[in-house]
C-alpha cells in the first residue's frame, strides 16, 4: 500500500511527547513491512537542522491560500530508506521556532493559523507532486482539517489523492479550540461554520473536523476508545465521538525496539537482558549517583517521567509526599510543565535531598537512565489515552505502578488480580489508590523472588511496533 501520514511531531525531528514516538514508530514499522510510506511534518528549526545533516532536498514551492491571501512554503524531501520518505513544509514565519506549540509559559498566539496552513499545505503538496495514497492518516487536532481539505481539493481538481482517510485521536483533551474568527483562515464553505461542522459552543474546534470528516477514526487504546464516549472522559465531545462509534476503533501504540531495548541501548551505562540482569544493577548505581543519592543504597527507587500537568497525576504524587519522606525509598522525577508543579517538586527535593530528586529536562539519556535504573515506575494519571512509559518500563525490567485508565489498563497486568502472570500494580486514580499501590510495592520489593518474576515477565512481553503495525494494516485494508 501507499500510505501517507501527516503529524505535527515526528521523532527524531521534533518531539514533545508520545505523539512523535508513535508516528515515527508506526511509519518505520509499515515501511519495514513492505509498504511505501511518506510522512509530512512542519519544517521546525530543529527538524531543518537535522535534515541538513541528512541531505534533504528542496523539491517544490507551494502557494497556499489562507483567508484572503496566498502564502508560500518550501517543500523539502528526505529519503530515510527506499520505502520511507519525510516531507517538511517549511515557512520560517510559522515554524522557525524552538518549540512546536509554544514556550514553557504559554502557547503561541498563532497556533491556529500555523496548523491550518500546514494541513492545507499537505493537501496541496500531495496534488502537486502527484502523491497518490491508498490511505491518508492524520493525527490530532493539528492535522484534523486535512481529511476535509483533501476531499474538497479532490472535488475542485477532479482527482483522487487518497482512497481512504484515517484520523487518530492521541489525546482528546487537546482539541485545537479557537475564536470563531479563525474560521475565515480555512477558506471552507459557510456550511462548515455550524454545529454540524467546526462550530463548538461558539468557537472553532479543529479536532472535531477529524472526528466528523475522516472515513475511519482511531484512538490509541481499546479502553480509551470506550472512555471518550462517556462524559467523564469525553471532554465535551462525547456526543460527536458517539456519532462515529461504528467507525471508531482503539489500537494500541507500540514501542520502537531499535530505540528501547536494554540489550542494545547505547544510552545506558550498561546493557542487560531478561537472562542477565547484572547490567541493570549498574544502571541503578549510576542513577543514584546522578541524583546525588548514596550509591550503595538498597532502598527501592521510584521513577516518574512526564509533563508536569494535572493529567499526569501530579496532585496525587504531591499528596503522597509523606510516603517518600518517611519510607526508606528514593524518588526521581524527570519533566517540565506547569510552574506550580515544578515549584512544589523543587521545594520537596530541597527539603529531602537524600531521598527526592527533580530533573527539569527533556533529555533522552536521562529518560533511558531512569527507565533502566529505577525499580518502580509511577504513572498515577487521571487519564491516559495509551501511554508509552509503562511499556518502556516493562521492557527495561522496571515494575510499573499505574492508574486503571486508558492504555495503562490495556498494557499492564495487575499482580494482585493475576499473580501468576502479573507485571505491575494497577490502582484507582485517587490518593487512597496510590497509597495502596505504594504500600504494596514495598511488600513486593522485599519479596525478591516474586519481584524478579514480575520483572522477567514484563521484559518478555512484545510491545514492538512490528506487532502493533499489523493492527493498522488490517484497519487500512478494511477501510479500502
CA gap 161, 180 in Å, rounded:
29
- The neighbour count for residue 227, using CB atoms within 10 Å, is 23
Find residue 302's DSSP bridge partners.
331, 376
| pLDDT digits (tens), the chain, 480 positions | 999 999 999 988 998 888 998 999 999 999 999 999 999 999 998 888 866 556 778 889 999 999 989 999 999 999 999 999 999 999 999 999 988 999 877 899 999 999 999 999 999 999 999 999 999 999 999 999 999 999 999 999 999 999 999 999 999 999 999 999 999 999 999 999 999 999 999 999 999 999 999 999 999 999 999 999 999 999 999 999 999 999 999 999 999 888 899 999 999 999 999 999 999 999 999 999 999 999 999 999 999 999 999 999 999 999 999 999 999 999 999 999 899 999 999 999 999 999 999 999 878 899 999 999 999 999 999 999 999 999 999 999 999 999 999 999 999 999 999 999 999 999 999 999 999 999 999 999 999 999 999 999 999 999 999 999 999 999 999 877
**CATH 3.40.50.2000 domain extents, the chain:** 2-254+465-479, 278-460
What are 14-21's contacts with CB under 8 Å, separation 24+?
14/41, 14/42, 14/44, 14/46, 14/47, 14/100, 15/362, 16/99, 16/100, 16/101, 16/362, 17/307, 18/170, 18/253, 18/386, 18/387, 18/388, 19/139, 19/140, 19/170, 21/253, 21/255, 21/256, 21/388
Phi-psi region of 81 (alpha: psi -120 to 50; beta: other; left: phi over 0): beta
| 335 φ, ψ (degrees, to nearest 5) | 160, 170
Q: The whole model's pTM is what?
A: 0.92
Answer whether 360's CB lies under 8 Å from 384's CB.
no
CA gap 65, 62 in Å, rounded:
10
DSSP 64-118: EEETTEEEEEEEEEEEEETTEEEEEEE-HHHH-SSSSSB-SS-B-TTHHHHHHHH
- Fold of the domain built from segment(s) 278-460: Rossmann fold (3.40.50)
What pLDDT is recorded for position 46? 84
What pLDDT is recorded for position 103? 82
Answer whether 383's CB lies under 8 Å from 405's CB.
yes
Distance (Å) of CA 157 to CA 8, 122, 123, 153, 471: 26, 15, 12, 6, 33
Cis status, amide bond into 12, omega within 30 of 0: yes
pLDDT in tens, 323-337: 999 999 999 999 998
What pLDDT is recorded for position 48? 83
- The neighbour count for residue 393, using CB atoms within 10 Å, is 30
Answer whether 259's CB lies under 8 Å from 15's CB.
no
What pLDDT is recorded for position 50? 67
pLDDT in tens, 286-314: 999 999 999 999 999 999 999 999 999 99
- Beta strands at 2-6 and 133-139: parallel, antiparallel or unpaired: parallel
What pLDDT is recorded for position 51? 60
Answer whether 451's CB lies under 8 Å from 423's CB.
no
What pLDDT is recorded for position 373? 98
| 311 φ, ψ (degrees, to nearest 5) | -55, -35
- Beta strands at 301-305 and 330-334: parallel, antiparallel or unpaired: parallel
Q: How far apart are the first and last CA of the chain?
A: 10
What pLDDT is recorded for position 43? 94
Answer whether 328's CB lies under 8 Å from 299's CB.
yes
What pLDDT is recorded for position 203? 97
Answer whether 86's CB lies under 8 Å from 80's CB.
yes
* Architecture in CATH for domain 2-254+465-479: 3-Layer(aba) Sandwich (3.40)
Alpha helices (H) along 91-246: 92-95, 111-128, 146-157, 183-186, 206-213, 222-227, 238-243
- The neighbour count for residue 259, using CB atoms within 10 Å, is 18
Amino acid at each position: 500500500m501507499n500510505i501517507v501520514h501527516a503529524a505535527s511531531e515526528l521523532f527524531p525531528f521534533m518531539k514533545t511527547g508520545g505523539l512523535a514516538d508513535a508516528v515515527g514508530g508506526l511509519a518505520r514499522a509499515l515501511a519495514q513491512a513492505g509498504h511505501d510510506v511518506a510522512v509530512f511534518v512542519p519544517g521546525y528549526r530543529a527538524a531543518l537542522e537535522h535534515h541538513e545533516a541528512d541531505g534533504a532536498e528542496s523539491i517544490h514551492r507551494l502557494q497556499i491560500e489562507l483567508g484572503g491571501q496566498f502564502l508560500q512554503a518550501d517543500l523539502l524531501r528526505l529519503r530515510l530508506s527506499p520505502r520511507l520518505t519525510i516531507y517538511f513544509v517549511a515557512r520560517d514565519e510559522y515554524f522557525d521556532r524552538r518549540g512546536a506549540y509554544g514556550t514553557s509559559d504559554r502557547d503561541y498566539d498563532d497556533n491556529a493559523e500555523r496548523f491550518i496552513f500546514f494541513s492545507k499545505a499537505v493537501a496541496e503538496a500531495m496534488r502537486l507532486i502527484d502523491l497518490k495514497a491508498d490511505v491518508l492518516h492524520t493525527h490530532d487536532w493539528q492535522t484534523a482539517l486535512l481529511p476535509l481539505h483533501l476531499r474538497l481539493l479532490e472535488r475542485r481538481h477532479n482527482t483522487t489523492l487518497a482512497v481512504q482517510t484515517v484520523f487518530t485521536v492521541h489525546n482528546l483533551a487537546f482539541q485545537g479550540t479557537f475564536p470563531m474568527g479563525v474560521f475565515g483562515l480555512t477558506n471552507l464553505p459557510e456550511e462548515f461554520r455550524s454545529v454540524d461542522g467546526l462550530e463548538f459552543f461558539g468557537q472553532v474546534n479543529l479536532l472535531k473536523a477529524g472526528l466528523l470528516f475522516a472515513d475511519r477514526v482511531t484512538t490509541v487504546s481499546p479502553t480509551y476508545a470506550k472512555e471518550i464516549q462517556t462524559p467523564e472522559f469525553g471532554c465535551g465531545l462525547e456526543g460527536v465521538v458517539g456519532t462515529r462509534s461504528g467507525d471508531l476503533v482503539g489500537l494500541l501504540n507500540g514501542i520502537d525496539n531499535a530505540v528501547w531495548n536494554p540489550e542494545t541501548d547505547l544510552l545506558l551505562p550498561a546493557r542487560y537482558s531478561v537472562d542477565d540482569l547484572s547490567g541493570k544493577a549498574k544502571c541503578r548505581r549510576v542513577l543514584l549517583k546522578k541524583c546525588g543519592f548514596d550509591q550503595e543504597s538498597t532502598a527501592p527507587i521510584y521513577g516518574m517521567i512526564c509533563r508536569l500537568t494535572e493529567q499526569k497525576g501530579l496532585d496525587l504524587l504531591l499528596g503522597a509526599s509523606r510516603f517518600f519522606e518517611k519510607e526508606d525509598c528514593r524518588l526521581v522525577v524527570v519533566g517540565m510543565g506547569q510552574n506550580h508543579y515544578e515549584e512544589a517538586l523543587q521545594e520537596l527535593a530541597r527539603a529531602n535531598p537524600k531521598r527526592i530528586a527533580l530533573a527539569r529536562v527533556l533529555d533522552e539519556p536521562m529518560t533511558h537512565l531512569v527507565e533502566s535504573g529505577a525499580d518502580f515506575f509511577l504513572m498515577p494519571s487521571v487519564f491516559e489515552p495509551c501511554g508509552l512509559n509503562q511499556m518502556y518500563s516493562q521492557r527495561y525490567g522496571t515494575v510499573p505502578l499505574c492508574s486503571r485508565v486508558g492504555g495503562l489498563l490495556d498494557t499492564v497486568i495487575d499482580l494482585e488480580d493475576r499473580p501468576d502472570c502479573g507485571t505491575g500494580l494497577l490502582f484507582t486514580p485517587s490518593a487512597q489508590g496510590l497509597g495502596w499501590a505504594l504500600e504494596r510495592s514495598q511488600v513486593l520489593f522485599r519479596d525478591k523472588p516474586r519481584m524478579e518474576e514480575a520483572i522477567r515477565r514484563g521484559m518478555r512481553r512484545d510491545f514492538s511496533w512490528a506487532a502493533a503495525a499489523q493492527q493498522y494494516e488490517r484497519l487500512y485494508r478494511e477501510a479500502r
